[in-house]
Structure 1
């Protein structure tokens, strides 16, 4: 065997045990997830104890603990110290942290990924607004109108304005009755909020902020999907100005 081949073989050899260990740990995590499904455990239900998992899976206690910590990071289980381990809510928080980190890295480069994150959020809201105009009822419209009134009172006033802006969008898409979709939209909001502190400020007048959101509301109230999508696009123009400045 020539020197390059011997070197490559040596490198592969040094990585194989680590690869096998990682694969074994992933296998334990998968078996724990399957156990949750097989036993039909719901969010908040107690998980089997560490001792039970050791016996059931036939692995070491350390391996079980490592797997549970990894699953906790994903929101699949919740470890309550002193009380036990429970089935988690499977929240999208880890996804938020990942997108925030990618966005922060992007701001130190060409900001391409930051634009991609924004494109994804805009595509999601544009698609949802079409469904919303077809299905929103008068009660939901009244609640969105109330959130618009709050925004008109607080727009441009720092944290109060941000909270009112977020509440307006939350209320709109809550009307669709899709909790997972609402969670995903909140992820994108959290990402932008966390990154906004590192973006240059762009002046937006109270009147401009209110006008953009009023346009969205009036288009939805009129059941005009095309107009609503155009209003959403104008809303994102302000965010793009901050990214591009």
Structure 2
């Protein structure tokens, strides 16, 4: 709580510019694709230099509100759940790198989310959806000797299950959760025999989805993810002991 005795904090010029740009967007009812005034016009209108304008624009770009292309005027960005998730990625990586508890919480959240995605997929999956999932598993199996590629197909498998929901928010959340955890899961792919077990579990999940077994699909997904978490934990313990 501030009082009349607290020192007045000086705001950066770019913060003031950003606030005024937001006002322009709101007052002029600018929508996706609409251009903002040129840098030169903004410099004249606000009485500031180019660095303050560019810093404010870059801040709005990080917020996902504007798009900046070289040689063109900045434009209002198309709304995107994927962009919103991407903007969180650096912060999430920082949190996960310095907080084991946060990583455990994220794993738990992901397992709960993926179980619900499996339930929904069991209710809504078409024969084409099931065929696509099986093709992804076959492609993943072909990459058993390449851990990086194997992991990419693993992520695709889970994204495709989320996409069956038809809800773009779920698809974006799946992308974000997988991206945030990916660097922590690379070691799992090097545990001997894990690839074969992962593929078998993926096929079991698809079998339950194809059968329309809502409870079975959720259980298969839960067993798969918590088994992976347990192996990851055991692998880390063994590495720490070896060190």
TM-score higher than 0.5 here? yes
5 Å-filtered alignment, 1:173-192, equals: 173-192=162-181
CA contact (8 A) 1:155 1:162 kept: no
The Cα RMSD (Å) is 3.1
Report SS of the residue matched to 2:170. Answer: helix
Distance in 2, matches of 1:178 and 1:138, equals 19
Count of paired positions = 227
5 Å-filtered alignment, 1:159-174, equals: 159-174=148-163
Equivalent residue for 1:100, pick from 68, 93, 96: 93
* Alignment of 1:242 onto 2:232: yes
The corresponding residue for 2:241 is none
5 Å-filtered alignment, 1:47-196, equals: 47-53=36-42, 58=46, 60-61=48-49, 63-89=52-78, 90=80, 91=83, 92-106=85-99, 111-155=100-144, 157-196=146-185
Unaligned runs of 5+ residues in structure 1 are 1-7
Report SS of the residue matched to 2:67. Answer: strand
Render the CA deviation track for 1:146-193: whole Å, top value 9, x for unaligned: 112222332463112112212222222222222232122111111122
Unaligned runs of 5+ residues in structure 2 are 237-243
TM-score, with length taken from structure 2: 0.78
The corresponding residue for 1:39 is 30
The corresponding residue for 2:240 is none
> Structure 1 pair 63/97, CA: closer, same or farther in 2 (3 Å)?
same
> Structure 1 pair 49/101, CA: closer, same or farther in 2 (3 Å)?
same
Distance in 2, matches of 1:46 and 1:203, equals 55
User: Looking at both structures, which has the greater relative contact order when contacts are Cα pairs under 8 Å and sequence separation is at least 6?
Assistant: 2
CA contact (8 A) 1:199 1:243 kept: no
The corresponding residue for 2:239 is none
